[in-house]
Amino acid sequence: MPKFPSAEWFQEVRDVATQNDGLRKLGTCDAVMGVKVGDQAIELTFEAFDLVNIREIQPAELANIDFYLDAPIETWREMLDNIKEHGKADLKHTLNTIDFLEPEGFAKSNDQSRKDLFYRYLQTFQRFFDASAQVETDFATPQPV
């Protein structure tokens, strides 16, 4: 069972999301998205109709990519548990709703124009995370502060 967050977990989600041209049907998506959970960071490169590269990076490198999703592990876990329970995010757990509710936003970037890619390809990213409903997930235990 892959651990969240890890390159292995995202690879499994990618494999589910791209089945039956799942992402292709939504149109092209060209963006480099980061995922930040605590001091862990993953870089996901979406190109054309696929997620073509997944790699673990240092959090400092997030400054160089288009945008990254940043939230405490509790928020990620609630979202992914909700997706698991319903087969996809319900009304209160979509990426965009979380972005609205998080005081500092869920999607972050130094460049608003690159951050807008999150909203431009929202359907693709939502479909991608919704695919995690079919992946067994082991959540990393948060480190005590």
Partner 1 sequence: MALDPKILEQLRQEPDMPELDLGWLGAQTAPGMAAKPGRRGLTLAEINVGDYGDAPERTDHNTIRIRGSVPSPNAVRIGYFIPNKGDIWSDNSGRIYEEAVQRQWSSATDIPWDTIKPLPDVVEEAICQICTFLTEVEFVAGDAPGRWIGQISPDHFETVLFLITQVVDEARHLDVFRKRALANGCGLLEAGGMGRALRNIMDAKDFSEMSALMHLVGEGFVQTMFRTGEFIATNEAEKTIFQLCAQDESRHVGFGVMHLRYVLEHQPERREEFHSYLDKAEELFGHPTSMNVAFQESLMITLGGGDTDKGLVMLMALQKKQVTEYLHRLKVAGMPERRERLHPGMAMFL
Query: Does 63 help bind partner 1 (rule: CB under 8 A)?
Result: no
Structure tokens at 98: 């979380």
Candidate residues 100, 136, 138, 142; the one interacting with partner 1 per rule CB under 8 A: 100
In the complex with partner 1, which residue's Cβ is closer, 36 or 115? 115
Candidate residues 97, 102, 139, 140; the one interacting with partner 1 per rule CB under 8 A: 97
Interface with partner 1 by CB under 8 A: which range of 9-17, 21-29, 75-83, 136-144?
21-29
Burial profile 101-117: b = 16 or more Cβ within 10 angstroms, e = fewer:
ebeebbbbbeeeeebeb
Mind giving me the DSSP string for 48-79? TTEEEEEEEE-GGGGGGSSEEEE--HHHHHHH
Query: Does 130 help bind partner 1 (rule: CB under 8 A)?
Result: no
Residues 6+ apart with CB under 8 A from 89: 79, 82, 83, 95, 126, 129, 130
Query: Does 120 help bind partner 1 (rule: CB under 8 A)?
Result: yes
What does the alpha-carbon distance between residue 4 and residue 55 come to, in Å, rounded to a whole number?
A: 13
Interface with partner 1 by CB under 8 A: which range of 8-16, 37-45, 93-101, 133-141?
93-101
What is the SS3 assignment for 45? strand
What does the alpha-carbon distance between residue 11 and residue 61 come to, in Å, rounded to a whole number?
A: 20
Candidate residues 20, 21, 60, 113; the one interacting with partner 1 per rule CB under 8 A: 113
Query: Does 134 help bind partner 1 (rule: CB under 8 A)?
Result: no
Residues interacting with partner 1, by CB under 8 A? 26-28, 30, 47-49, 91, 94, 96-97, 99-101, 111-117, 119-123, 126
